Structure 1
C-alpha cells in the first residue's frame, strides 16, 4: 500500500486515513481502547468512591465531615496509581499506532495488536519521555502562565479595592485581561501542537530520541501547518459527534424513564450520568486516537516526499539500487521481557547450541630430541676369547 508515497492534497490524506482505518479497524481500535479503557476504569473507581461516601446523594443528604478526609485520601491514591499507568499506556499505544500505520502504508503485510506493541516495547522509555515532554510544552507552559496571570489579576484587583477607587472599572479590566490571556494561550496551544505534531511518527519510524524528534518535527512540519490545523479540527468534530451519540440517548433515558429523575433516585441518576460521561469519553478517545495517529503518519511521509524525495528513495530501495539504512542498535528492554518465563513458570531452557561443548582442539605435542644410537664396537684384532 505504498501508493501514497507521492505528494498528496489534504483531501487525499484524509481519504487515505479513512481507508486505512477501515482496513484494519479492529487492530487500530484495540490499540486505542487500552488507554481509553484504563481511563474509564479509574474514572469508574472514582465514581464508586464518591457514591459510597454519599457525595452523589444530592443536596438533601449532606456527607459527614469525616468523610471528606476519606474521599481526599482515596482520590489521591487513585491518582497516584492512575497517572503513571495512563502516561505509559498512552505513550506506548500511541507509538504502536504509528508503527502499525507505517507498516500498512509501506505495504508491510498483516499487523496485530501484540506485534505492534512488541515492536515498540524496547524503546518504551523514549516514547514515555517524548509524551511527557510534549505534554509539558503544550499544556504545562500555558497552565503555568495562566495561573500566574490569574494571581497577578487577583492581587491587582485586591490592591485596587483596598485603595477604594475605581473598583468596578478595575474588575472589568481584570476580566478583560483574563479573557485576552485565555485567547493568547489557546492560540499558543494550537500553534505549538502544529509545530511538534509530527514528533511521535518521527520517533517511531526513524528511531529518534525525544529531543531529536521534536527538533526534526519543527523542521519537517514547515509547509503543512494549515493542513494539520484542518486535521485537528476534524478530530475535534469527530470527538464531538461521538460524544453526542453517547450522551443524547443517555440523557433521554434518564428523563423519560418514570421515576428515574425523581429526588428519591437522585443518587442513581447522578451515578448513571457520570458513568455515561466516562463511557462517552471512552468511545470518543478509542475512535479518534487512531485517526490522528494514521493521519500524522501520512503527513510525515507526505512531507518527506515533498522535501526529501523519499518516494524515489523508497522505490530505489525496493529495486535494490541502494542499500537500506543500517538498523539502529537494539536497546535493552525498559521492563523485563514477557518471554523470559515460560507458561509453566519455569525459566526458558538454553538454546541447543549452548548445550553443545565447543570442540576440543588437540594441542600439538612437543618434539623430543632423538638421542643418537651408539655405534657398534669393532672387534680388536688378535684378541683371544
Structure 2
C-alpha cells in the first residue's frame, strides 16, 4: 500500500499519467463504456445538422437538428461524471493494493450519478448567474459611458474582473465531484462548502492543473488532428475522415487522465489540510 503524501504540480500530473499507463486497458474500457454512446450521438447529430445546412441550405432544419444536441450534451455530462467516479474507484483500489475491476468502478459511478448530477447542475447555475450578472453590469457601464475613453477602460476592467471572479469561483468548486464520491455528506450540496474549504489558498494550483490537463488531453490532440484532417480532406478524403474520427476518439481515450488529475488533486488537498488517511478512504469505499 502506497502512502498518499502532499504532491507538487508536476507530481500530480506524473502520478495521473503513471496510473493511466498502469491501468490503461481498464481505463480504456471504462471510457468506452461511459462515453462511447453520447460521443457517437453527438457526432451523428452534429454531422446531420451540418449535412442539412450544406446540402439544402436549410437553416431551420439545421437548427432544429442541433436542438437534439441538448439532451445529448446532458447525457454526455452524466457519462463524464460516471467516468470520474469510476476513475476514483480505480485509483483508490490501486493505492490500497487491490486489483481494480471495471464492475466496481461502474457500480460506484452509477450509485453516485444523481448527487453528482445535482451538484453539477448547481455549479452550472451558480457560474451561469455570475456570468449573467457580470454581463449586465458590463453592458450597463458600457451604455452609460459609451464612446468615451474612460468608458472603454471601465468596461475592460469590469470584464477582466468578472472573468477573474468566475474562474475564482469555478476553481473553488473544482473538487466537488471527488467530495461527493468519497465523503459522507448530509446533503449533496454540502460539497460546495467542502470543496471551497479544501481549495482555500490553492485555487491557482487548481486552475493550473485544470488548464494543463485539458490542453494536453483534450484540446491539443483534438485540434491538431482536426487541423490536419482539414488540410488533407481535399486531396485525400479517406485520410481526412479517418483523422476527423481520430480527433473525436483520442480525447475519449485520454479522458481518464483528466479524471485522474482531479482525483489526485483532491487527495493532495486533503493530505495538506487533514493528513488524509488511506484507511479512511478504503472504509468509505467499502474495500477495507
Residue aligned with 1:8, SS = coil
- Which residue number in structure 2 is paired with residue 362 of structure 1? none
- Structure 1 residues 135, 174: CA separation in 2 closer, same or farther (over 3 Å shift)? same
- Which residue number in structure 2 is paired with residue 335 of structure 1? none
User: Offset at 1:7?
Assistant: 2.7
Q: How does 1:35-46 map to 2 (within 5 A)?
A: 35=35, 38-46=38-46
User: Offset at 1:282?
Assistant: 4.4
Deviations 1:92-141 (A, max 9, x none): 222222222222223232221x3311123233211111121222233x13
- Structure 1 residues 153, 120: CA separation in 2 closer, same or farther (over 3 Å shift)? same
**Does 2:207 align with 1:229?**
yes
Q: Does the 8 Å CA contact 1:95/1:127 hold for their aligned counterparts? A: no
Structure 1 gaps of 5+ residues are 161-168, 261-267, 319-323, 328-385
- Structure 1 residues 147, 35: CA separation in 2 closer, same or farther (over 3 Å shift)? farther
In structure 2, C-alpha distance between the alignment counterparts of 1:155 and 1:219, rounded to whole Å? 38
Deviations 1:193-212 (A, max 9, x none): 32121211111112434212
In structure 1, C-alpha distance between the alignment counterparts of 2:105 and 2:285, rounded to whole Å? 21
- Which residue number in structure 2 is paired with residue 344 of structure 1? none
Q: Does the 8 Å CA contact 1:87/1:132 hold for their aligned counterparts? A: no
TM-score norm. by structure 2 comes to 0.80
In structure 2, C-alpha distance between the alignment counterparts of 1:150 and 1:223, rounded to whole Å? 28
Q: Which residue of 215, 225, 231 corresponds with 1:252?
A: 231
The answer to which structure has the higher helix fraction is 2
- Which residue number in structure 2 is paired with residue 314 of structure 1? 279
In structure 2, C-alpha distance between the alignment counterparts of 1:181 and 1:285, rounded to whole Å? 37
Rg (Cα) greater in structure: 1
Q: How does 1:31-110 map to 2 (within 5 A)?
A: 31-33=30-32, 34-35=34-35, 38-51=38-51, 53=52, 55-57=53-55, 63=57, 67-76=58-67, 78-110=68-100
- Which residue number in structure 1 is paired with residue 4 of structure 2? 5
User: Offset at 1:246?
Assistant: 1.1
Residue aligned with 1:299, SS = helix
- Structure 1 residues 30, 70: CA separation in 2 closer, same or farther (over 3 Å shift)? same
TM-score norm. by structure 1 comes to 0.62
Q: How many residues were matched structurally?
A: 281
How well do the aligned residues superpose, as a CA RMSD in angstroms? 3.4
**Does 2:133 align with 1:145?**
yes
In structure 1, C-alpha distance between the alignment counterparts of 2:63 and 2:106, rounded to whole Å? 35
- Which residue number in structure 2 is paired with residue 283 of structure 1? 250
In structure 1, C-alpha distance between the alignment counterparts of 2:158 and 2:29, rounded to whole Å? 39
In structure 1, C-alpha distance between the alignment counterparts of 2:154 and 2:247, rounded to whole Å? 34
